[in-house]
Amino acid sequence: MRSFLGRDILSLKDWERAEYLRVFEVCDRLACHARDRRNTDLLAHKTLVTAFYQPSTRTRLATEAAMHRLGGHVCGFADAKMTRAGDFYMESIKDTVHMLEYYGDVIAMRHYQQGAPREAAIWATVPIINCGDGWGEHPTQVLTDLYTVYKEKGRLDGLNFMCVGDYRMRTMHSIGYAFSQFDIEATAIYPDEMAPTAEFLDELKALNVKLRRVESTMEAIGQADVIYMEPVVQADYTKGRDESKEKGLTPAAYKVTREMLREKAKSDAIILHSLPRMDELPADVDATRHARYWIEAFNGVVMRMALLALILGAME
Please report, as ranges, the residues that interact with ligand CP according to CB under 6 A.
56-59, 132, 141, 274-275
Please list the alpha-helical segments (H only) found in 5-134. Answer: 17-35, 58-69, 93-100, 116-123
Q: Please list the residues that pair with 9 across neighbouring strands.
A: 129
Distance in Å, CB of 299 to ligand CP, minimum: 12
Q: Please list the residues that pair with 213 across neighbouring strands.
A: 188
Distance in Å, CB of 141 to ligand CP, minimum: 5
C-alpha span between 21 and 27 (Å, rounded): 10
Residue number with CB closer to ligand CP (22 or 60) = 60
Q: Of 124, 81, 82, which is closest to residue 100 (Cα–Cα)?
A: 124
Residue number with CB closer to ligand CP (132 or 165) = 132
Distance in Å, CB of 56 to ligand CP, minimum: 3
Residues 6+ apart with CB under 8 A from 262: none
C-alpha span between 100 and 181 (Å, rounded): 34
Residue number with CB closer to ligand CP (201 or 275) = 275
Q: Please list the residues that pair with 160 across neighbouring strands.
A: 185
Instruction: Write down how long the chain is.
Output: 316
Residue number with CB closer to ligand CP (56 or 223) = 56
Distance in Å, CB of 138 to ligand CP, minimum: 6
| Strand 73-77 to 270-273 pairing | unpaired
Residue number with CB closer to ligand CP (61 or 260) = 61
Calculate the alpha carbon distances from 272 to 141, 172, 259 in Å. 11, 13, 17
C-alpha span between 291 and 20 (Å, rounded): 23
Residue number with CB closer to ligand CP (59 or 250) = 59
Residue number with CB closer to ligand CP (135 or 314) = 135
Distance in Å, CB of 3 to ligand CP, minimum: 27
CA atoms within 13 A on the CB side of 315: 21
Please list the alpha-helical segments (H only) found in the chain. Answer: 17-35, 58-69, 93-100, 116-123, 139-153, 170-179, 198-206, 217-220, 258-263, 293-311
CA atoms within 13 A on the CB side of 26: 24
Residue number with CB closer to ligand CP (47 or 56) = 56
Q: What Rg value do the Cα atoms of the chain yield, rounded?
A: 19
Distance in Å, CB of 230 to ligand CP, minimum: 9
Distance in Å, CB of 131 to ligand CP, minimum: 7
Distance in Å, CB of 63 to ligand CP, minimum: 9
